[in-house]
C-alpha cells in the first residue's frame, strides 16, 4: 500500500495546502492504513473506516488544536489520531504502555476531551464554548457525536442548554451511520446544505426577521414556510426548535460536500448542527457487509477477513449468562431482558431471537434502562438488566431512588467487572462492589467460576428485591457448568480449602488465584460468593480459628469487600489482623488482563508474596 500523501502529514497543518483532489487521495491512503493497522493490533474498525473523510475535512478546515474537536463515542477517533502525529504509535494501540483506543487529554493536545462513555461531547463542547466566550478567545468548538450516542438524554440536555446560551461558537456534527445514503442525499441535498450553511442564507433569514417582526402574522408565516421547506428534505424541525441552525443531511464520505459546508459553518456564530451520513466499514467490503462483526475485532488478515473461530475450550461468563437468561426465561414467563445498546457484548443475541417480545434494547440510555426496569417490576414482572459494570455508574441515581428505595425486584447482570484489558480505565468495572454494597436492600454476588455464575444468577433472580451479580470479561477457570436452574442460599459462603493459621476470604474469580497461593502456603480459602449480605457466621468462625485473615477481590480496596469484612470485625470488637488485597487507589490503564492483574499482585504468585510480606512471622512459626 502506497502512502505518499499520508507520509507527508505530521500534523493537521500539513493538510491545509492540499487541494480537493489530494484530500481524496489522502482519504484512500488513510483508510487503507487504518485497516492494515487495526488488523495487526485489534481494535475498533467499522466506526473508524466510516470517519476517514470527516476527520480529514475537520482538520483541513479548522485550526486545531486551537479549535476544539471532541470525538464522541471516542472509538471513532483513529483517523483523528493518525492525522495528529500518532501514526507511528498505532502499532501500540490499546497495549500496555501504548496509546489508548479513545481520546485522552494526557496523550495529545489535539484530544480536547477524554471520551469513552458516550454522549458527553455536546456538554463538554458547550462548557468550552462558554469559557472561550468569557475569556474573549475566538475559537470554534466542534462536537462529533455518533454511533448511537444521540440516543442518550444527556445529549439533548446539552442541546437544550446550548440553544439558549448567547454568543457561543458551537458546532454539533451528527455522524449518522445507522441509515443508508438514499438518493435524496445527493446533489440536491449538497446544494441545500451549502446554501443553508452560507452567510447569505443566514443574513437573509435575519434580515427577513427584522423586516417582518413588526408584522407578527407575516413573521409567523415566514417561519413556518422556512421550516416546512427544509422539512421536506431534512429532519430539521427538532434541532431548530432546540435553537440550532440545522444543516444537512450530507454525504459524510463526499469531501466536495463536507469541506465547503464546514468552511461556511466555521464563519457562523451561535449553535450550528451539521448532519452527516456515513457508512460503517466504508471502503472495506467485508466490514460494510457486517459492521457488527468488524466493530471491535482482534487481529486478522484483511485479505481473508475474520475467520470463524473454533469453539473455545472455556466458555466466557457472558456466554454463561446468555444461556442462563434463555433457560430462566423458558421457565419463567415474567422474565424481561433489558440492555442499553449492548446486545452482543452482554450475550443477549439468542435471547432476542427466542423471546423478541420480552427483549428491550433501550439504546445508550443507562438511566432510562434502570428506571424502565423499575416500572416493569412495579407491575409484577421480573426484569433482568444486562449492563457493563462501568455503564451502571451512569444510572446510579436511578438505581438508588427508583429501584432500591422502593425495594423493587430487579436483577442486574454486571458484565466486565474488574480489569477489562485493552479498553482501559474508562471501561474497567473496578467500583461496583463499593458503590453497590452501600445501598440498602441491594444484594451483591461475585461468582468464582462459570458454574458459580449460573448458580448465583438463579439465586439473585429468585431473591425478592434488587440484586446484582458481577462477573469479569472473558473466560473463567474452565469449570463445568451444570444444567438446570439450581441456586444457593443468598448470603452463604462455602469453604474451598482447609489450611492453617491464615484464612483467605476470596470474592469473585480471584478465588482461583487465592487457591493457588494457598497451595504454596497451606492456607484456608473461603469462596465468599456474596459481598452483601456477607456470611457473618463463617467470617467470625474463621476469625476465631485463625491467627490472621486476608481478603482478595478484583475491585477497589477502598469501600470494597475487604472493607465489609473489616466493618464486621470492628462491630464485633475483634482485633484480628486483616490484609486487604485488591485494586489500588488509581485508575488502571489498558493492557493484557492477566498481565495487569499480575502487575498488581493479584495472581497466585502476587497474593502469596503479599501474604509472606505481611505475615512472615506467622508463616515461619507454622513451618517450625
Instruction: Out of 29, 240, 366, 553, pick the active-site residue.
Output: 366
The DSSP code for 85 is I
Instruction: Out of 31, 394, 437, 470, pick the active-site residue.
Output: 394
Estimate to the nearest angstrom the gap between the alpha carbon of 578 and the chain centroid.
35
Residues contacting 457, CB < 8 A, separation 6+: 321, 324, 328, 411, 413, 469
Residue 394 among the catalytic residues? yes
CA angle 225, 230, 236 (to 5 degrees): 115
d(CA 439, CA 422): 31
Residue 484 zone, left/alpha/beta (φ > 0; ψ -120 to 50; rest): left
Residue 280 among the catalytic residues? yes
d(CA 436, CA 560): 9
Number of CB atoms found within 10 A of residue 365's CB: 21
Q: What is the 3-state secondary structure (H, E, C) of 373-422?
A: HHHHHHCCCEEEEEEEHHHHHHHHHHHHHHHHCCCCCCEEEEECEECCCC
The alpha carbon dihedral of 185, 190, 191, 193 has a sign of: positive
Q: Which residue, chain included where needed, has cell 472473558?
A: 474
Residue 366 among the catalytic residues? yes
The alpha carbon dihedral of 482, 488, 493, 494 has a sign of: negative
C-alpha distances in angstroms, 386 versus 112, 450, 471, 488? Answer: 32, 17, 11, 21
d(CA 491, CA 475): 25
d(CA 619, CA 622): 5
Of 565, 599, 569, nearest to 584 (Cα)? 599
The alpha carbon dihedral of 244, 249, 252, 257 has a sign of: negative
Catalytically active residues, by annotation:
280, 366, 394
Amino acid at each position: 500500500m502506497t502512502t505518499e500523501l499520508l507520509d507527508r502529514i505530521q500534523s493537521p497543518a500539513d493538510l491545509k495546502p492540499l487541494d480537493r483532489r489530494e484530500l481524496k487521495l489522502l482519504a484512500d491512503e488513510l483508510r487503507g492504513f487504518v485497516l492494515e493497522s487495526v488488523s495487526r493490533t485489534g481494535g475498533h474498525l467499522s466506526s473508524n473506516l466510516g470517519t476517514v473523510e470527516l476527520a480529514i475535512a475537520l482538520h483541513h478546515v479548522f485550526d486545531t488544536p486551537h479549535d476544539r474537536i471532541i470525538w464522541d463515542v471516542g472509538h471513532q477517533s483513529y483517523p483523528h489520531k493518525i492525522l495528529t502525529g500518532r501514526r507511528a504509535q498505532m502499532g501500540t494501540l490499546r497495549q500496555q504502555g501504548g496509546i489508548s483506543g479513545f481520546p485522552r487529554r494526557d496523550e495529545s493536545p489535539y484530544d480536547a476531551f477524554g471520551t469513552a462513555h458516550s454522549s458527553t461531547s455536546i456538554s463538554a463542547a458547550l462548557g468550552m464554548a462558554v469559557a472561550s466566550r468569557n475569556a474573549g478567545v475566538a475559537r470554534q468548538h466542534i462536537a462529533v457525536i455518533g454511533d448511537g450516542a444521540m440516543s442518550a438524554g444527556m445529549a439533548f440536555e446539552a442541546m437544550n442548554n446550548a440553544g439558549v446560551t448567547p454568543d457561543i461558537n458551537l458546532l454539533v456534527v451528527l455522524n449518522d451511520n445507522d441509515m443508508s445514503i438514499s438518493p435524496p442525499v445527493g446533489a440536491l441535498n449538497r446544494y441545500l446544505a451549502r446554501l443553508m450553511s452560507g452567510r447569505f442564507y443566514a443574513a437573509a433569514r435575519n434580515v427577513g426577521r427584522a423586516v417582518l417582526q413588526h408584522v407578527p402574522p407575516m413573521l409567523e408565516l415566514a417561519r413556518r414556510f422556512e421550516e416546512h421547506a427544509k422539512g421536506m428534505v431534512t429532519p430539521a424541525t427538532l434541532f431548530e426548535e432546540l435553537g440550532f441552525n440545522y444543516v444537512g443531511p450530507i454525504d459524510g464520505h463526499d469531501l466536495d460536500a463536507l469541506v465547503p459546508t464546514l468552511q461556511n459553518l466555521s464563519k457562523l456564530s451561535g449553535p450550528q448542527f451539521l448532519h452527516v451520513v456515513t457508512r460503517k466499514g466504508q471502503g472495506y467490503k467485508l466490514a460494510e457487509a457486517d459492521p457488527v462483526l468488524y466493530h471491535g475485532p482482534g487481529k486478522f488478515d484483511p485479505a481473508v477477513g475474520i475467520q470463524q473461530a473454533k469453539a473455545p475450550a472455556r466458555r466466557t461468563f457472558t456466554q454463561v449468562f446468555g444461556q442462563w437468561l434463555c433457560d430462566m426465561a423458558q421457565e419463567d414467563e415474567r422474565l424481561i431482558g433489558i440492555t442499553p445498546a449492548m446486545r452482543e457484548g452482554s450475550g443477549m443475541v439468542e435471547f432476542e431471537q427466542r423471546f423478541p417480545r420480552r427483549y428491550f434494547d433501550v439504546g445508550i440510555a443507562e438511566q432510562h434502562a434502570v428506571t424502565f426496569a423499575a416500572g416493569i417490576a412495579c407491575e409484577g414482572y421480573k426484569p433482568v438488566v444486562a449492563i457493563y459494570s462501568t455503564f451502571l455508574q451512569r444510572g446510579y441515581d436511578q438505581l438508588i431512588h427508583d429501584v432500591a428505595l422502593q425495594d423493587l425486584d430487579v436483577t442486574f447482570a454486571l458484565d466486565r467487572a474488574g480489569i477489562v484489558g485493552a479498553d482501559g480505565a474508562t471501561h474497567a468495572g473496578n467500583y461496583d462492589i463499593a458503590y453497590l454494597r452501600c445501598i440498602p436492600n441491594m444484594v451483591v454476588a461475585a461468582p468464582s467460576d462459570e458454574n458459580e455464575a449460573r448458580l448465583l444468577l438463579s439465586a439473585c433472580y429468585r431473591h425478592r428485591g434488587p440484586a446484582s451479580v458481577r462477573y469479569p470479561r472473558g473466560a473463567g477457570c474452565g469449570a463445568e457448568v451444570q444444567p438446570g436452574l439450581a441456586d444457593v442460599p443468598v448470603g452463604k459462603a462455602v469453604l474451598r480449602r482447609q489450611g492453617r493459621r491464615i484464612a483467605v476470604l476470596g470474592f469473585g474469580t480471584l478465588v482461583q488465584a487465592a487457591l493457588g497461593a494457598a497451595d504454596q502456603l497451606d492456607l484456608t480459602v473461603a469462596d465468599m460468593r456474596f459481598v452483601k449480605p456477607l456470611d457473618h457466621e463463617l467470617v467470625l468462625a474463621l476469625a476465631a480459628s485463625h491467627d490472621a485473615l486476608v481478603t482478595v477481590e478484583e475491585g477497589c480496596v477502598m469501600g470494597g469487600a475487604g472493607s465489609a469484612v473489616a466493618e464486621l470485625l470492628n462491630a464485633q470488637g475483634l482485633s484480628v489482623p486483616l490484609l486487604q488485597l485488591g485494586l489500588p487507589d488509581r485508575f488502571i490503564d489498558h493492557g493484557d488482563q492477566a498481565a495487569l492483574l499480575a502487575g498488581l499482585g493479584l495472581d497466585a504468585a502476587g497474593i502469596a508474596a503479599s501474604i509472606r510480606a505481611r505475615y512472615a512471622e506467622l508463616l515461619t512459626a507454622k513451618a517450625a
